Structure 1
């Protein structure tokens, strides 16, 4: 029985505890590459067989005739396109002297012609020759009805390379600018690929329909040394022709759990980016990320932008998806310094993911830091590397196999078809880690909070009467006072509780509830496993970086001039040190988030925006939002509302990566409170009233040193946040920060849209 028959048999039969429905757990990925770069049709054929054998990893509709999406990324075959274009009256130059674009146009003829004309004008205005259009041979009759109903009109465009532009990446950079200008001037056409090196064929197919739909793939003259395939099982978005993989550089099996925060920060980062490669063209390719795309499409947008801006593709992948380096003693100091340098500028794109990437010259693969997605590969005697999301996706005789291996957590694999060799994880990382003196840059510029001197100033303290008044003002309950704060300060751990939340909804309560309680934590589910943060401590990191982010596109020492904080729950002394920091490149501003109680809350928030803008213009890099000063005339803006409102304001105005937010508040005291504050944009939190309450408890209920009790309380809070993040499959606090991994219940749609943008809210208030 061959493999396809075995798979069909498996789908129909139940075997013991096995159920066929378990097969539909995530996407399937595969790649075939000739290591020496020798093109042949066999590479294309083998890749198509892989994706056809991954049918159990592809989603389909209830009718079973329309798939979630299948596609293939190939090198541009010069022999093939020279032949077919000659028949169409299109004259091409030599290999890589022209580019091919794959377009999904609307079926409406008028709109299609308008879009085509617009593209031709843009190409010519950018100094390139438009050579012509080719209608891609297709067979719509093999598709299901749903796929046919939304099928685009598929055309290929051909563009000649200007004589003064080098082949390869430089030509592709010009094409990238053309595509971005076209995408921003047209909203009814999707460009699958536009490159002189690669082309993408994809659509809403079942796995067997990719080959039969596109006539080009069946032509024996279509030759490639690289072929990357993907079968999609939609988990986060609805299927569509555009959302099928491959994207322009990557195929992706998994989920980016921190995508909301990653996308927000990437958009905000645009203000601080500058590139010698794009120079005056940079503004024309912004925004970097299309937030309407899937999580993998947004990652692809980011990697493509970084590559076009001058970062080599493997380097961009390593910066976005780093291995767990902070607690890993097995890596060299050079590699650790490399990751530390890039961590000061960009948070990890975190979540279970196996990613294959290619720019037409190299093909690589990387696995997430937890290794939660399988990726295995063979190297054969025919100098081919065959990679897939599982063993057996392609039948290879044992006598032809030279090496069998798998990708390990956080590791990278790279095949360079130009040099004709495979590079191991250690070779790739050592190469990039040794290109710059990252260690020297960090020693000269990175500042550690623990190394800052304590200023000769008193830490603010409250009398018993003032403390009691503030506890009432911030809604402290006896239960929180007696159990939550006391237990964490006494034992250094959060009280044990069930994973589920069965407490009544805050919106239904007769009593005043803190805003935190209107937000429910999201949990990993289906294909997205939670992490055991205790046993897998090596992959977790609690470090955050405060200050102005450096320019990600240009490597220099000043980029890492930030403040490193190991625990984002700050003591009063920690905050005092930050307020008085005098190091070059740091400027701190304290913004009050209190207001006269007769003032409308909306106006008070608008006033905070004004103060934030004023501080930014003065060069502030650290904003401290403080609610100290609550009295009989002044009340505090709810701290979560203040943090999220300022965070979203800075994202909208593209200032977020120029300014860090630290909260000084008497309101947070439970782990969930801190988790929401970090999840909505705070870099660190100083719970001054909770720590004052510990001072009071020392005298009555806790028989230990005050500073030890505060450290234990902070440690308990941090451990609780790590546990919450790990339930969502997130490993680092840096990635969790701003990720908005909550659902709002009982808050009006207007408030959510304005101040908690992007938050799931099924039930308003």
Structure 2
């Protein structure tokens, strides 16, 4: 009799569900408050031409940052890893032939789908819903392909929660423009997600549905990605870009669908303003409109699905803004802006003033790598607490990521190296085959429109008050001032550590995040209303600087 303890998958799943319910009841776990800290980056061909070297370098980089991911006690289950690349057309043409179909010359599209593995009835129902929505918009389905996987590369816990992984291959009209095709597939995917949710099926997820790119990801370690997905070793897998991600869950329950990259971006860090961002996004939905979507805009709501993690919520809004006609650098500038004084008269200040009027900042710490609309970018939020470094080689490879040396490149091949600073980004326009620095990107965006003319139409409260004969500032003597300060609950600490530096510098005071004052609700003194509120943040990874 073997001494090896047999892993009981059913027992593990029931215990996991019970633990999640227990923690949720105790108020210490909620799916919509999930954060993670990871390794992230991209590899791209500077000239925009697909090569196998890009894919190989991305796999090497992903496997090099294995230490940025967590490992379960079984030694094989990870928090998640994945890679986002272009669709290898030649590879899928062969598999289309195996379904008994010939390539009809249309635009090839592929959906990477996670299906319920243990409930065959739900599995088939999901396939039917996917097919119905694709056929409803006039596309032709070639068939389904079961993605070959090696389950021996997985840990027991990852295997116990493993979905059925399949690809649906279909054809779109050849005359359909690339942007329009992607926008249409975005709407189709949202329809599918809503229909499946209405059927109360939970173990369904579409990793990607696109005519451009495909995502291979799962709940495994970085070094297992090619072992689990042997497709990636096929030399026909060529791409002009590859985004990779190794996940480290900090206060999260790892799942297959939360592995990254997501459909647009891969994210390292956490969005500490997520509750406010999601609430504002719900408010924006009432006035959301676009001539590119027309009446279909209602089918995109809610933009952020209930229970989304901070990274998946960020990705959902990135995706919407991109399909709404904005370039990826513009979306990054709007959603994850730099710390810029918008009161200035420069074109860049006017650009940021416009961005501030459209979307509230999503504050990290955050480092992202993203692909959409033939752009691939890497960037940081304005806090700059997550690393992003890059090198450019003499044969046209651009390698960006959380660390240097992820891809072994001889020194004589490196023509440029650098780091991305707080609020900065770099990008490659794959259609034009051009690489842009942060300054070049911002200059191009600032010069595209007359942003100042648009923002000048906004009503300014100070101007309105002046027009309506606003009262002159009240003048008080010292005693009256003290009385009013006491009424407002001001303390010497407020005066010396907050107001005094603001009066001297015109900026908010800088201090540590430590706060040893009594909770307002327990204080025996009057505390202002704002003292009863605190900003949420992920205590595990913030504020330490990830270098």
TM-score (normalizing by structure 2): 0.82
The counterpart of 2:40, out of the listed 23, 26, 29, is 29
Structure 1 residues 455 and 445 mapped into 2: Cα distance closer, same or farther (>3 Å)?
A: closer
Offset at 1:165?
A: 2.1
For 2:377 and 2:183, how far apart are their aligned partners in 1?
A: 20
Aligned to 2:230: 215
Match status 1:411 vs 2:431: no
Aligned to 2:142: 131
- Whether the 8 Å CA contact 2:41–2:244 is kept in 1: the answer is yes
Structure 1 residues 504 and 105 mapped into 2: Cα distance closer, same or farther (>3 Å)?
A: same
The counterpart of 2:115, out of the listed 105, 123, 144, is 105
Match status 1:374 vs 2:384: no
Offset at 1:367?
A: 1.5
Aligned to 1:297: 312
- Whether the 8 Å CA contact 1:177–1:281 is kept in 2: the answer is yes
The counterpart of 1:365, out of the listed 371, 375, 378, is 378
Offset at 1:267?
A: 1.6
The counterpart of 1:179, out of the listed 189, 205, 208, is 189
Aligned to 2:100: 89
Report SS of the residue matched to 1:418: coil
Offset at 1:217?
A: 0.5
For 1:213 and 1:110, how far apart are their aligned partners in 2?
A: 26
Aligned to 2:23: none
Give the aligned CA root-mean-square deviation in angstroms: 3.4
Match status 1:323 vs 2:338: yes
- Whether the 8 Å CA contact 1:236–1:294 is kept in 2: the answer is no
Offset at 1:154?
A: 0.4
For 1:401 and 1:496, how far apart are their aligned partners in 2?
A: 39
Say which is worse superposed, 115-124 or 354-363, in terms of deviation.
Answer: 354-363
Report SS of the residue matched to 1:263: helix
Offset at 1:418?
A: 1.9
Report SS of the residue matched to 1:344: helix
Aligned length: 497
1:189-248 Cα shifts (integer Å, max 9, x gaps): 100000000100000011111110012111122211211110001124321100000000
Aligned to 1:354: 367
For 2:307 and 2:498, how far apart are their aligned partners in 1?
A: 45
For 2:149 and 2:500, how far apart are their aligned partners in 1?
A: 68
Bigger radius of gyration among the two: 1
The counterpart of 1:204, out of the listed 197, 219, 224, is 219
Structure 1 residues 407 and 490 mapped into 2: Cα distance closer, same or farther (>3 Å)?
A: closer
Greater relative CO (CA pairs within 8 A, separation 6+): 2
* Structure 2: tracts of 5 or more residues without a match: 1-35, 475-479, 504-508
For 2:149 and 2:159, how far apart are their aligned partners in 1?
A: 12
Structure 1 residues 193 and 523 mapped into 2: Cα distance closer, same or farther (>3 Å)?
A: closer
Say which is worse superposed, 444-453 or 100-109, in terms of deviation.
Answer: 444-453
Offset at 1:262?
A: 0.8
- Whether the 8 Å CA contact 2:488–2:528 is kept in 1: the answer is no
The counterpart of 2:456, out of the listed 431, 443, 455, is 443
Offset at 1:339?
A: 0.9
| Matching of residues 180-579 of structure 1 within 5 Å | 180-187=190-197, 188=202, 189-326=204-341, 333-359=346-372, 361-447=374-460, 449=462, 452-453=465-466, 455-456=468-469, 480=489, 500=514, 519=533, 522=536, 525-529=539-543
Aligned to 1:9: none
- Whether the 8 Å CA contact 1:291–1:298 is kept in 2: the answer is no
- Whether the 8 Å CA contact 1:75–1:360 is kept in 2: the answer is no
Offset at 1:116?
A: 0.5
For 2:37 and 2:463, how far apart are their aligned partners in 1?
A: 43
Structure 1 residues 197 and 453 mapped into 2: Cα distance closer, same or farther (>3 Å)?
A: same
* Structure 1: tracts of 5 or more residues without a match: 1-24, 462-466, 532-728, 730-765
Structure 1 residues 93 and 527 mapped into 2: Cα distance closer, same or farther (>3 Å)?
A: farther
For 2:539 and 2:57, how far apart are their aligned partners in 1?
A: 34
Aligned to 1:699: none
TM-score (normalizing by structure 1): 0.60
Structure 1 residues 223 and 434 mapped into 2: Cα distance closer, same or farther (>3 Å)?
A: same
Offset at 1:30?
A: 2.3
Report SS of the residue matched to 1:67: strand
Offset at 1:365?
A: 1.0
Offset at 1:480?
A: 4.1
| Matching of residues 646-725 of structure 1 within 5 Å | none
